[in-house]
Structure 1
């Protein structure tokens, strides 16, 4: 072949090659797209390499398939997760690392002279800095004890000065316990029992008073009869 023709064909092949850029996050699965039409030639051989697609095959091959069957895999992290039967030979890098950055080349071997499909992709893996959560602080001051405000700062004062604070916290805890659903029933029972006892005492006292009044009336009646007979 004449050198000028070879140069022209090489330039034409370079122009027809597809080149794109893919940016992914560290630790995520990254997919580099590559596909072809299976309706014309059916399922075809394909390969991926860690460099631009050369004149034949792939450079530094990481994954290849021979008519739909994987025949070479450099690492389990390189996967064909697309539908190879439909012409999807996209390369998926599982849990991508920063060392995976660089140029990748996909070749699909189409029958005929200079018919191969070539896709060059520049992959860049970036590390996403974790978001730092700012601590939430809140100042809290308990009600005054003996005319002084007692802050809740740890280590404040001595054990003696913290005694009223502890008593207040304990009292609050008891009060919250009493407000629970189970304790509400007990409080209602205690209240009803107290009311019943008060009513029993009131009616009992009235009964005693009525008995005394009746006894006094009978005594007066007897005295009147005795006086009339006399």
Structure 2
């Protein structure tokens, strides 16, 4: 009977030991967020509840519980302790926001797997390190370097003045050329306008004279001949047409 009892105790201890995972070490930095990883096979077990505890995980329950989930939603969070993992993917990790020195220590995660002594437990040792300090380098400026800098500034100023005067001269020349070019352009435009006005006046005057000639021709009485003298009639018409062209030519010859 005693042998059976001892065997049962040993078997129970083995089962409990088998359910606990090995502890891991995580390092964090003061002022930064640090994540303690805890996951389970959701494809194998389905959606499971989980909890986080400060210190070692007790045999049953979650001890000093600081965060918990029912598998679908986060049911408990404390202060800077947040469960920000993908619950639908079996990620029940714990994130500590704005880590501080006093956050260092042991943390435990329990995933409640159905069945006797089937819970998965993870122990994590957290170490918080100081934030790296930035050092400022101080440089001593000697009198010689100051004098050199002053001389360089003076040279730069004189060069700037020379460049400024050169630029002013170039600008003046460009303004003169611009004014001369503008005057030439204005003269050309006025010349073109005058030529166009003269041409228009000539065309108008010629049209007026042509109109006057046509009016004079329309006032001349027509002469008709009998059918027996058709050749004479044609001769007079041709002569009349020649007179018209001569009058037209004479009018154009007297144009100013």
Are 2:125 and 1:122 aligned? Answer: yes
Scaled by the length of structure 2, what TM-score is found? Answer: 0.57
The 5 A counterparts of 1:127-138 are 127-138=130-141
DSSP 3-state at the match of 2:88: helix
1:124-162 CA-to-partner distances (Å, cap 9, x unmatched) read: 1011340212112332527xxxxxxxx66xxxxxxxxxx
Residue 78 of structure 1 corresponds to which residue in structure 2? 81
In structure 2, what is the equivalent of residue 96 of structure 1? Answer: 99
Distance 1:41 1:11, change over 3 A: closer
User: What's the CA shift for 1:13?
Assistant: 2.1
Write the distance in 2 (CA, Å) between the matches of 1:169 and 1:135.
23
Distance in 2 separating the partners of 1:30 and 1:132: 25
Q: 1:169 to 1:21 in 2, by over 3 A?
A: closer
Of the two, which has the highest radius of gyration? 2
1:190 aligned onto 2:173? no
2:70 maps to which residue?
66
Residue 142 (structure 2) aligns with: 139
Q: Does 1:49 align with 2:62?
A: no
Name the structure with the higher helix share. 2
Instruction: Give the gaps of 5 or more residues in structure 2.
Output: 174-256
Q: Determine the C-alpha separation between the residues in 2 that align with 1:123 and 1:56.
A: 23
Question: How big is the shift at 1:6?
Answer: 3.1
**Shift in Å at residue 27 of structure 1?**
1.1
Q: Choose 62-71 or 87-96, whichever is displaced more.
A: 62-71
Equivalent position to 1:32, from 15, 33, 36: 36
SS at match of 2:67: strand
Consecutive unaligned residues in structure 1, runs of 5 or more: 143-150, 153-164, 195-230
Equivalenced residue count is 170
2:250 match: none
- The Cα shift of 1:72 comes to 1.5
Q: For 1:6, which of 5, 9, 12 is the aligned residue?
A: 9
Question: Cα deviation per residue 1:98-124 (whole Å; 9 max; x = unaligned)?
Answer: 111010000000000111010000101
Match of 2:116 in 1: 113
Relative to structure 1, is the Cα distance of residues 174 and 51 closer, same or farther in structure 2, using a 3 angstrom cutoff? same
What is the match of residue 196 of structure 2? Answer: none
Q: 1: distance between equivalents of 2:107 and 2:46? A: 24
* 3-state SS in 2 of match to 1:52: coil
Rate the CA distance shift 1:174–1:89 in 2: closer, same or farther, 3 A: same
13-22 or 96-105: bigger deviation: 13-22
What is the CA distance between 1:22 and its match in structure 2?
A: 0.7
- Which is richer in strand? 1
Shift of 1:173: 6.5
**Runs of 4+ in structure 1 displaced over 6 angstroms?**
none
1:175 aligns with 2:183: no
- Maintained 8 Å contact 2:57/2:108: yes
